[in-house]
């Protein structure tokens, strides 16, 4: 099966996309096809683009019910809101763990997007940062202060650069893999080994562009390594500490799905279904209650360490496990104890 390929470029008013349907593409309405491939774009937004004649298949304007077939070339132009490229400073409360003249360490809550993008133009961490700090340096992607990021529904620690020198120094540390990043994750299934390492190139999925896949032969994607050790077992799920050697998009989420232990309630990777356990109605109700308490993937960036760009001293930060994950873990502890009685 050949892959879907994506080119994205941005100008002042529009985002341009190009997709090539894979060899194994089954007939699928073009609006549904695009919903699988354009992150944060609503169906209404896609249908508006179709009505405006901004969706072409093999260079021909199509309607929403047009069926995509293998090797079709799909081009899309989506209009930005007028203020898209004007980053607006917003007075958003930030949980600042540490700050000095060079950098800020922030504990990001789940649900907050790190930087503006399609479908998320305000309320992001960057909007709050530029309100808090004037003249943040921008990286190559024009994202003020950022040297790394975490997913919207992942909570935890981020370091933000306040000067050009700090940005360069910190970015090099992430590139050279000299930072320390530890995450806590709750994964489906009883992971057999007490500790282990997951290695496999990570690249965008050929079947769903919103997912990342693991490619063992190394011909596609980027080298990725995740070390893990078991912290606590709850019969049908396992709490693990993950230490990142590399920092790829969705690395922990993709790696754990690859080894058969998708993260708990990770909707994008299928973890919002009951993947391990019994068929009892009471168990299903219990898991549903856990999902309500923790309405996101069970992943928290708990520990962050790096060399300070000016003092050259090692800085190490640790964060509390957020309440939604804590409450979910308590429910699993109680469930496991009652199972043993």
For 271, the token pair is 């973890």
Decide whether 96-176 matches 180-340 in CATH topology.
Answer: yes
Is residue 82 scored above 60 in pLDDT?
Answer: no
pLDDT single digits (tens) 185-242: 999 999 999 999 999 999 988 888 788 999 987 778 899 999 999 999 999 999 999 9
Superfamily of domain 6-79, CATH level 4 = RNA-binding S4 domain (3.10.290.10)
pLDDT > 70 fraction of the chain, expressed in percent and rounded: 90
- Could you tell me if residue 68 is left (phi over 0), alpha (psi between -120 and 50 degrees) or otherwise beta? beta
pLDDT single digits (tens) 142-193: 688 999 999 999 999 999 999 999 998 999 999 889 999 999 999 999 999 9
For 144, the token pair is 């003020």
The domain limits of the chain are 6-79, 96-176, 180-340
The span from the CA of 232 to the CA of 240, in Å, is 7
**12 counts as catalytic:** no
Instruction: Encode 7-45: b = buried (16+ Cβ within 10 Å), e = exposed.
Output: eeeeeeebbebebbbbeebeebebbebbbbbbeebeeeb
The partner residues of 75 in beta bridges, in order of sequence, read 18, 56
pTM of the entire predicted model: 0.78
Is residue 83 scored above 50 in pLDDT?
Answer: no
CATH topology of domain 180-340: Pseudouridine synthase (3.30.2350)
**How many alpha carbons lie under 13 Å from residue 48 in its C-beta half-sphere?**
8
Please state which CATH class domain 96-176 belongs to: alpha beta
Count the Cβ atoms, other than its own, within 10 Å of residue 222: 15
In the set 7, 11, 101, 151, the catalytic residue is 151
For 250, the token pair is 């969705």
């Amino acid at each position: 099966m050949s892959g879907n390929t994506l080119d994205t470029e941005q100008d002042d008013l529009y985002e341009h996309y190009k997709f090539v349907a894979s060899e194994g593409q089954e007939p699928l309405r073009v609006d549904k096809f695009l919903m699988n491939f354009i992150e944060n774009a609503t169906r209404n937004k896609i249908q508006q683009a179709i009505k405006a004649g901004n969706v072409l298949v093999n260079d021909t304007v199509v309607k929403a019910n047009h069926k995509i077939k293998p090797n079709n070339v799909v081009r899309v132009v989506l209009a930005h809101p007028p203020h898209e490229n004007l980053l607006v400073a917003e007075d958003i409360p930030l949980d600042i763990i540490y700050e000095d003249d060079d950098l800020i360490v922030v504990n990001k809550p789940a649900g907050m997007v790190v930087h503006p993008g399609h479908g998320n133009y305000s309320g992001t961490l960057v909007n709050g940062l530029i309100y808090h700090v004037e003249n943040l340096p921008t990286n190559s992607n024009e994202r003020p202060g950022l040297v790394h990021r975490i997913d919207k529904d992942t909570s935890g620690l981020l370091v933000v650069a306040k000067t050009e020198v700090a940005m360069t120094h910190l970015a090099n540390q992430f590139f050279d893999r000299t930072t320390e990043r530890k995450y806590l994750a709750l994964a489906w299934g009883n992971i057999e080994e007490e500790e282990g390492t997951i290695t496999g190139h990570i690249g965008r999925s050929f079947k769903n562009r919103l997912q990342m896949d693991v490619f063992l032969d190394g011909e596609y994607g980027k080298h990725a390594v995740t070390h893990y050790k078991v912290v606590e077992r709850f019969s049908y799920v396992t709490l693990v500490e993950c230490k990142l050697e590399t920092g790829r998009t969705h690395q922990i989420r993709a790696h754990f799905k690859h080894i058969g232990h998708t993260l708990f309630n990770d909707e994008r990777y299928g973890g919002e279904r009951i993947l391990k356990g019994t068929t009892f109605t009471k168990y299903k109700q219990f898991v549903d209650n856990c999902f309500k308490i923790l309405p996101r993937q069970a992943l928290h960036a708990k520990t962050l360490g790096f060399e300070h760009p000016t003092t050259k001293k090692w800085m190490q930060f640790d964060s509390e496990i957020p309440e939604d994950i804590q409450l979910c873990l308590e429910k699993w502890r109680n469930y496991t104890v009652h199972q043993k009685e």
